[in-house]
Structure 1
Amino acid sequence: MKAGGQTWAAGLFADSEIAERFSDDALFASFSRFEQALIRGLAKAGLVADEDATHLVKQIADFEPDGPAIAAAAVRDGVPVPEYVRQLRAHVSGPAKTMLHHGATSQDLMDTAAIETLAAINGILAKRLEILLGLLAALSARDGGNKLEAITRMQPAIPFHAADRIAAWRHPLQSLYDRLPALSDQTRLLQFGGAVGDLQALGGNAHIVAETIASELGLRWPGHSWHSARSPVLAHANWMSELTGTLGKIGQDVALMALRGNQDIQISGGGSSSAMPHKQNPVTAERLVTLARFNATLVSGIHHAQLHELERSGAAWMLEWMILPQICETAGTGLTAASALIGSIQEMGRPA
């Protein structure tokens, strides 16, 4: 994620591991899996001979799309699928060629790819959350008995312990971690609706084809399309915004503690100032605050993208594509930065 064309900012905000999940290669790999699963579903429904389906599936698996041509055509089509399918049709041969992409539409491939991407990102975030929770537990074990002064409404309150403040950081993160498996399970939904969402091109075979595709992809078929109902995407975006908000609270607390001085916290590796060489700025803490505010802004955009007119919206869909990768990268970057911040704490509070 770049700040415009400013590559210097990439280290502050980008997450290459998560960005890779939104790459062209990842998208086209998902398209290929969908088209292979669709042919197997058509074969199971008796619409394609098994031998022909096997031949076609192998050809789909061997297909290497022309990415630049797809990118150029997407400006015209507003979506990469039509050019992908055109190239794929030119690549395959055999009696079942006419059944390629039968019963599906562009949104089925795009939304299913998004769900697969989010599932992969969930795995990344879960591992990073585990690391952060472990660091917080270790910090509490080391410094939890140290004294701190509680602050309420920006005024000194009463004495308490470092463990109390650490717990206020850790508990919401633990809750987010505990909720992630259910979120993943509830949203691993196949998107399959065909031209207008009712799978009419497949008639009475629609259910068996859909169930086969879902089984092949490790997803769940909800029994209907969700072309204009964006709850799976919204659920993920909301969770990630809550995550970055929780991390931002940690960053804000650490920055304020650093302002109060060594009696509250001592941190290594602060950022330098061009004018005041004595300073060690709490840059990583500040990043967490910025990332939290950025995702809080982006999640509003995802809710705007919920508004599809009638059966499908091109405009709302494009907005979702613009925003969702940034929300995911911001969440990933936040977790990495938070672990670095907690790891940099040399001492929290004063020994009792």
Structure 2
Amino acid sequence: MDRLIAVRYRFTSLLCFLLLGLAPCWAKAAEPTSPLVPHGFEKFGSRWVFPDEIDLKRDLDSLDEVVRRTVTLKRQIELAAAENREHWQMQQSTNKLIDEIAAAMRRNAVGTDEEKKVQKQIDQLKKASRELRDGVAPDRLGGQPHMRAMLESLTLMHQKAAVLIARVTSQHEEIQQQYQQLPQEVSSWIAQHEETKVGPLFSPEQVDQANRKALAAICLNQVPLFLHGKQKRIGVVLNDQFPSIVTVEANADRLFLTSNMAFSAGLKKLGPLESVNLPDGHSTKVRFGELPLLRLGSATLQNVPVAVLQPSDEHLGGILGLKMLQAWNPHFAESGISLSLDSDNQVSTASK
């Protein structure tokens, strides 16, 4: 009898186990078939979204991180520039005082054995003044190793932000189109199943707010400017994807790109070789073409005429003539470490 009871108990337990295992399958079979997966949706947390929305979230997170790092770096640069300006002004005041004292001493020492001794003492005082305060002229600050390193990092952050803002805007527009173009059967299914959370992850207002916050925090109308020897260098973005460093020429009216820059930006339709003079007077041959888009800080230039250098001139680097900008009124900041742009315009065409 006990053995029979034990067998029945085991059989009942096994039957319950099987029934419990089959219950989810029955429940799943009872659910209506979802059209979400066949139409490109995937599960992200508790919500069904398009894969592009996950990429958009990553880019928005990256943009927020770039903004955070940029704000910190800008503060360091501003403090370094302010400290240098203070030291430079003190140094100039000290040198002026030394010169006044020196003039008085020379008047009394002219024609005597003391003249050389006085001049030596003056030179020693000026040297001590420079070493004590270690300031440099503002227009040379961007060439100092520590400042150049920070400005190059800031340039990279600016370029990353510009690329991310452009990509976020483009991605969100494409995502909106995907939702607008959903088949009627999918839209109806979503409306009938309110318990199923379906994107979008971000509203147009959220994306716009993220972009405006980034633009305000980074201040893209102040373009980092650093020195390479005597050349003033800035960062630009070609076709919203390809960051490049170019030399600024205030009196030139063209954009010169190296062959590598042109290749990276996808420029293929180039004209025949033509002779031109570079801003420094050097004569060379280039091929002319047109760049669809150029970003310089907050300035967006469309359909920009470019002159592409030959591979043998790669060492010359890219050159941006500021006279090419029509509406942005660029000017060098007093600090000597940035190029200021008129930010009233958001889109400008380059001069032809």
Larger helix proportion, structure 1 or 2? 1
Q: Same fold (TM over 0.5)?
A: no
Larger strand proportion, structure 1 or 2? 2
Normalised to the residue count of structure 2, the TM-score between the two structures is: 0.28
Normalised to the residue count of structure 1, the TM-score between the two structures is: 0.28
Higher relative contact order (CA 8 A, sep 6+): 1
